[in-house]
């Protein structure tokens, strides 16, 4: 009876260990692919038109700065985020989440 329980526990541990290993590999590959796509987009944009790339980066920076400002600022009483404020807040949140994901998983990427 005790041997079966130990064998089952070891089997469950090995399955869980293998599952975590596979999940880490998949997340690392996803992070490397995302990083490669971002680098390719920047390269193609720069090769197409450097002034438009700089203008686009400036507009994206303003968009994200407004989103950060609206995220960390206390809203006025009785008012919720609408229109541009909601879009910039969502964009900032998505960008911050993506940056955190890349920080944790793309650091192990061998492509850097």
Q: What is the mean pLDDT of the chain?
A: 85
**Residue 68 structure tokens:** 């950060």
Assess whether pLDDT exceeds 90 at residue 1. no
Report how far residue 87's alpha carbon sits from residue 85's, in angstroms, rounded to the nearest whole number: 5
* pLDDT-based confidence at residue 103 (cuts at 50, 70, 90): confident
Report how far residue 60's alpha carbon sits from residue 66's, in angstroms, rounded to the nearest whole number: 10
Domain boundaries, the chain: 2-107
Report how far residue 22's alpha carbon sits from residue 72's, in angstroms, rounded to the nearest whole number: 37
* pLDDT-based confidence at residue 62 (cuts at 50, 70, 90): very high
What is residue 13's predicted lDDT score, i.e. its pLDDT?
87
The position carrying tokens 């400002």 is 69
Full-model pTM:
0.71
């Amino acid at each position: 009876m005790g041997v079966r329980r130990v064998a089952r526990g070891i089997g469950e541990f090995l399955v869980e260990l293998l599952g975590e290993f596979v999940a880490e590999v998949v997340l690392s590959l996803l992070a490397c692919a995302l990083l490669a796509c971002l680098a390719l987009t920047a390269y193609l944009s720069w090769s197409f038109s450097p002034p438009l790339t700089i203008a686009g980066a400036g507009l994206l920076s303003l968009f994200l700065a407004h989103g950060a400002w609206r995220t960390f600022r206390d809203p006025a009483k009785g008012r919720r985020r609408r229109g541009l404020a909601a879009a910039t807040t969502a964009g900032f949140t998505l960008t911050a989440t993506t940056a955190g994901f890349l920080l944790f998983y793309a650091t192990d990427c061998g492509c850097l």
